[in-house]
Structure 1
Amino acid sequence: MEQQHTLSPQQSSDINLPVHNRLRLLKLSRGDTWPERRLCELALVLECPPNGLAISDLETRLFEGELALLPLGNGLKAASSGRVLSLELERSLAPPKPQRLSDSLISQLMRRAWSSIFSTPQILEPTLELINVLADQRVRDHQEHLDLLTTIDHRIAVVIDYIDANCVNSLTVAKLAKMACMSPSRLSVRFKAATGETVWGYFQRRRCEKAHQLLSETSASVSDIAYQVGFSSQAHFTQSFKRRFNTTPGRFRQNAKK
């Protein structure tokens, strides 16, 4: 028989103990059905197996600290165990299927909201409202990205998708141009016209955004992260990161921990 479990903030053994009308902690076992959703739901993975938390209809697994927007209704199943913090978003449009959402600030705010239920309840509602505003913006940004991919030359869309999926790997304009069946110079011109960025600029931005996420959500060293996202040296990484975010990776991490 399928079960769903909701834990109190103290992580007691009490089942289905409500603590907030929109924010709840779910303890999922393999095969459990996700609770029915009447509003768009934002899920933050708190604990999961080393190979991640698998959810039906989500193509890739979620790892600790990662977020996903969930569709309305029921039928979603957990294909592995884990603990998830779930928040109903009052104004956001629900996606047709689970959608990964990368935002370290929202992750931090959700953790803060959960801990404030008993420690500082006066900041709970303002924190939830801020999460809702930020999530709305991320959803709009994602939709604009999808709209861009559907309106531009499909060959440019293929290149953008490939960069997004492989930004930590070594790529060249020549390789991408061959994929798009264009000359490197023609790809460069058409890419800039479609996106407003150069191919290399977009590639570096996606690498820096990945590094931004790792700095916020992992304890890996700055040098390790530099190599994880594909930079050949920490100095080059620091230069690119500062150009993008107007601060060094080290200072960004220090501020994120405050």
Structure 2
Amino acid sequence: MELNSKQQKLDEQVDSARQQLSDDGASLPLLTMCELVYSRPYAVLESVAGDTNVDNLQVAIWRNHLLEFSRTKQPANHTISLQLSGQRVHRLDKKKPGVIPGRFAILPAQSASVWQSEGETRFAHIYFTPKFLNTLATEAFDVDSDRFELIEGELLQDDQLQRLSASAVEIFFKPDKPLQLETNSLAQVLGVHLIRGYSNLFSPPDRLQQEKLTPTQLEQVLEYIDANLERSLSVGELAHLLKLSQYHFLRAFRNTLGQTPRHYVLHYRVSKAQELIRQGKPNLADIAYQVGFSSQSHMTTAFKQVVGVTPKQFRKAI
């Protein structure tokens, strides 16, 4: 069948099914109505996680079937598309080579595209709202958001972007619900990497490389973390405390302590758990919740990562 005929058939399916997908659209705010329609039956949404209102990004795993066309029609979100496995996928509307496993496509919001695969393929899509990246560009690079433009690309090879994308998949689809601080930090780092490497903007000013928290700011934020350790903490909350943008807070915190807020909070929670175990607190589940872990298993994983042994093994050794 000719490509135009395929597109026309898909367009007709969109028009007829749009009314039936309101519930899907409400539950998946970044997966636009058109993406959901075009996924049937040409692609299958295996799983989706994240909330742009909380995490600033959303991650989805798609599986496309053999030799079928799929089309994203003017999506509302920016997309990082990483092919996880399968055959080469070609972009037909621009006659470009497309992507292969381990390579990326960057698809800005409102950019329609038509693709064809040589076989069954599996993709991870990471979605950002234009509002989030525009705000981040303004805060991090001191430019008017109207100047910011994400540049599309296919068959991209970027080791850092691959590591960050793999981290996003791992964090959002692990058994324990990710911490908001964790997802916010990842969104910030991924967003800045996109702006630096795949936009029309220049590099940030050198002064940002040297930015640090003042002693007063550091004391204030560490005392706040200690006082609120039992609950979920976000980067936005900590940045707001110091009246800084999230980007500048992340950079200043890392430049001051040599680690991200997420790593600091994780290690601090583990150290507090060690302290409570030494004090003879009997219930490990109670300790986990007291120091802010979502479950005992979450604490056990973090504890072993930081200390090298599990909480039970640590208790036996003291």
Give the TM-score normalised by structure 2: 0.32
Higher strand share: 2
Structure with higher Rg: it is 2
